[in-house]
Structure 1
Amino acid sequence: MAALSLLLVSLSAQAQKPSDSYLHLIDKGGAIAGRWDVALQDLDEVLGLDAGGDGAITWGEVLARQADIRRYVLGRLALGADGQPCELVARDSLRIAQHSDGAYAVVAFDARCAAPVTRLDVDYSLLFDSDPQHRGIVRVGAAEEGAPLIFSASQHFARVRLRGASPWRMTGHMVVEGAVHVMTRVDHLLFLVALLLPAVLRRAPDGRWEEVSDYRLALWDLVMGVSAFTMAHALTLAAATLGWVSPPPGFTAFAIALSLLVLALDNLRPLGWGVRWVAVFVLGLLHGFGFASVLAGWGLSAGSLTLALLGFNLGVELGQLVWVAAFLPLAFALRGSALYRRAVLGGGSAAIALLAGFWLAQRVLGLGVSVT
């Protein structure tokens, strides 16, 4: 109960989409050319770009703070080679690029190193002090060949080989990233908790919960549920990354929140035969769209993209099965108690429904700033 309460409290404080930035570093033979795309909404949070306070960032407001933007962004990146730091020098004028989730400032720069670089040290610290959920999506190397890395507040340093990186190493990295995604994304954690809570019980004809007598039956039902989610996740992740379909990011976030609400409410009162599994499959489809914008932004070759997709989805499945292995034995032992049925299942599902409803309201109101 204590662990569930702490989890839900922490989730309520994080019910926002993690912000991302996209950094590409290309070896130019003695120098590193960099392009860094940072969301204007994130920059507004730390620099106050919206001088008019009207909720809309104009191009004039961006130009007026161009020097501050460059200073802030480049001050959050340290590159080095052979123990010697590389000097970061801004070049070209600031530009605006559109990504699936809004407008981004494009900061172009050169990293001047003392000697030709074979292994590059990358220390990334953008936005971690204001948004611990921020992710830095970094590619190092030539276009379509760079090995993608994902930096976080807990993993912000890497030493990267500029040439000759193995594609299987990237696949292993994506397996880890898929597992981390399961453990850290708020919406995915809420889905897993909502799916796990009733796994050791079944509905009687009168709507009441009854104990599942066979542990293997409960395990099989739960594994089938998380696997169906992963299969749906893989389908839309591939389709969206390859550009076959591209739903508006606002719709995706809204639909994820609505599906979570339906799943939690079905735990409290059955909404009809099949509703639960429809919600699970829809959530899997929607989560695929949620991560696709990250993979699509890497510009990988077809072969590298295939390995990245396989690795990420394998990591998602492994991460979910870890949750199943940790939760199911304890829940099965407690399934007959009033504490589990009323406090853990009932109270936990009600808390998830409230959080999903709050998240849904945020999406409907469309809180945030626009860029004009």
Structure 2
Amino acid sequence: MWCRYRVCLISFIGSLLLAIGFVTPSLAHWADLAVAEVTVEQTKTGIILTFPTGLVAWADDNRDGQLSTNEVTTHQAELEKFLGDRIRLVDDKAEVGKIAVAASNNLPANINSNANIHTTLELIYTWSQPVSGLTINYNLFLPNVPTASCLATVMQGGQTRNLVFTPEQREFSLINPSVWQQISSFVLLGIEHIVTGYDHVLFLISLLMLGGGFGYLLKVVTAFTISHSVTLSLAVLNIVTLPGRFVESVIALSIVYVAAENFWRKDLRWRWLLTFIFGLIHGLGFAGILKEIHLVQSNLALSLASFNVGVEIGQIAIVSIAFIVLRTIRKYPWELTFRRLLSGCVVAMGLFWFVQRAFY
């Protein structure tokens, strides 16, 4: 009995340290995110860019987390050099667009509550003659942050589409692009979203902690896939809308319950049903990042399907690795202690996240 209590105590202490390390990724959807609205014309391309002010902290003279009109004017030459180097637009003749930067009050409505950490600027690129081809290379990311991304809406020639810039995918064609650009960018966004979504990862791993064969694994993956796909779609279409604080808090509690259940549950027969129910809430969490931009109706199905495919690829990779590791260690005498230790860590971390999301 004392041994079991000691395992739980060690679990809680270890999980507290892990939770502190994961606190920012679990909460801050906007901290490393930028949004761009790109309008392509014959001799001019305009970008309304909302990005983390920390990237240009040297221009934030009063340190209020935003660049005022006066600060933009004061540092205009520096901003044009800085942003021109990191967001390059090149036409089909290899001519780089001349950039002009101005302050903008067009802060997207969905980040008004985060106005103190983001700045919105208007970037205008011009060419001396009409362009027939245009490529953008976007490299404005927080350093050493793999989850950094820019969600872009591009309007050109009466058509509107969505793209996602990441450190791994920085370059796109803005005129007559291939459909693969949009598919690949949203697939990568989906993979990144679940792989770096530590709460979703811990939920999936906790479901495998008690073992089970390939049939159980297939049921769990299928149930989670169907349920989160349904609510992801409904949320992006604004058919189902719940407060973000509520969704994130319930996701944390779902992690706590599944991990705690590993201490007493013996029968895995109906656990797939529990996975399906909790997966409905996780789907609303997945939808959060897609609701940060206006997904155009003409490309909505493609963007949504591509993102969901990316989530599934990441999910399959995670559960496959966890399944193999947990089955491998099953032959060792310390396997039961390890599972209890890991489950205890997940319980404590989930409780930490719940308190953080529900009350702060």
**TM-score category (smaller protein):** 0.7 to 0.9
Cα deviation digits, residues 107-139 of structure 1 (max 9, x gap):
22212245526131322224x138553321123
The answer for the alignment partner of 2:348 in structure 1 is 354
The answer for the alignment partner of 1:31 in structure 2 is 44
Cα deviation digits, residues 172-198 of structure 1 (max 9, x gap):
432333223222222222222212222
Structure 1 residues 69 and 132 mapped into 2: Cα distance closer, same or farther (>3 Å)? farther
- The CA deviation at 1:364 is 2.7
How far apart, in 2, do the equivalents of 1:68 and 1:272 lie? 67
The answer for the alignment partner of 1:198 in structure 2 is 210
The answer for the alignment partner of 1:281 in structure 2 is 276
What letter matches 2:341 in structure 1?
G
How far apart, in 1, do the equivalents of 2:46 and 2:223 lie? 43
User: Which of residues 15, 21, 32 is equivalent to 1:13?
Assistant: 21
How far apart, in 1, do the equivalents of 2:75 and 2:273 lie? 45
The answer for the alignment partner of 2:255 in structure 1 is 260
What letter matches 2:154 in structure 1?
V
The answer for the alignment partner of 2:125 in structure 1 is 111
Structure 1 residues 261 and 312 mapped into 2: Cα distance closer, same or farther (>3 Å)? same
Q: How does 1:275-354 map to 2 (within 5 A)?
A: 277=272, 280-343=275-338, 345-354=339-348
The answer for the alignment partner of 2:179 in structure 1 is 167
Contact 1:145 1:300 in 2 (8 A): no
Structure 1 residues 296 and 275 mapped into 2: Cα distance closer, same or farther (>3 Å)? same
- The CA deviation at 1:41 is 9.9
Segment drifting more, 255-264 vs 87-96: 87-96
- The CA deviation at 1:33 is 1.0
Q: How does 1:135-150 map to 2 (within 5 A)?
A: 135-142=149-156, 145-150=159-164
Cα deviation digits, residues 53-83 of structure 1 (max 9, x gap):
xxxx8x9x96675658987698354223054
Cα deviation digits, residues 243-289 of structure 1 (max 9, x gap):
11221222222121121111111123349999955653344223322
- The CA deviation at 1:167 is 3.2
Structure 1 residues 168 and 129 mapped into 2: Cα distance closer, same or farther (>3 Å)? closer
| SS at structure 1 position matched to 2:46 | strand
The answer for the alignment partner of 2:197 in structure 1 is 185
Unaligned runs of 5+ residues in structure 2 are: 1-13
Structure number with the higher strand fraction is 1
Contact 1:136 1:151 in 2 (8 A): yes
Q: How does 1:191-230 map to 2 (within 5 A)?
A: 191-200=203-212, 218-230=213-225
Are 1:75 and 2:112 matched, yes or no?
no
Segment drifting more, 26-35 vs 91-100: 91-100
How far apart, in 1, do the equivalents of 2:75 and 2:155 lie? 25
Structure 1 residues 148 and 123 mapped into 2: Cα distance closer, same or farther (>3 Å)? same
Cα deviation digits, residues 190-239 of structure 1 (max 9, x gap):
22221222233xxxxxxxxxxxxxxxxx1121122122112121111111
Structure 1 residues 222 and 297 mapped into 2: Cα distance closer, same or farther (>3 Å)? same
Contact 2:80 2:101 in 1 (8 A): no
- The CA deviation at 1:318 is 2.5
Contact 1:125 1:156 in 2 (8 A): no
The answer for the alignment partner of 1:94 in structure 2 is 105
What letter matches 1:99 in structure 2?
N
Contact 1:252 1:290 in 2 (8 A): yes
How far apart, in 1, do the equivalents of 2:250 and 2:69 lie? 36
| SS at structure 1 position matched to 2:334 | helix
- The CA deviation at 1:298 is 3.8
Contact 2:132 2:175 in 1 (8 A): no
Segment drifting more, 7-16 vs 303-312: 7-16
How far apart, in 1, do the equivalents of 2:349 and 2:49 lie? 34
Contact 1:78 1:86 in 2 (8 A): no
Contact 1:100 1:293 in 2 (8 A): no
Segment drifting more, 86-95 vs 189-198: 86-95
Structure 1 residues 230 and 292 mapped into 2: Cα distance closer, same or farther (>3 Å)? same
How far apart, in 1, do the equivalents of 2:267 and 2:158 lie? 47
Contact 2:73 2:102 in 1 (8 A): no
RMSD over aligned Cα, in angstroms? 3.9
How far apart, in 1, do the equivalents of 2:308 and 2:71 lie? 40
Structure 1 residues 302 and 149 mapped into 2: Cα distance closer, same or farther (>3 Å)? closer
What letter matches 2:358 in structure 1?
V
- The CA deviation at 1:22 is 0.9
State the number of aligned residues: 333
Contact 2:36 2:48 in 1 (8 A): yes
Structure 1 residues 284 and 240 mapped into 2: Cα distance closer, same or farther (>3 Å)? same
Structure 1 residues 149 and 169 mapped into 2: Cα distance closer, same or farther (>3 Å)? closer
Structure 1 residues 39 and 236 mapped into 2: Cα distance closer, same or farther (>3 Å)? farther
Unaligned runs of 5+ residues in structure 1 are: 1-5, 52-56, 201-217, 367-372
What letter matches 2:50 in structure 1?
D
- The CA deviation at 1:39 is 6.3
TM value normalised by structure 2: 0.76
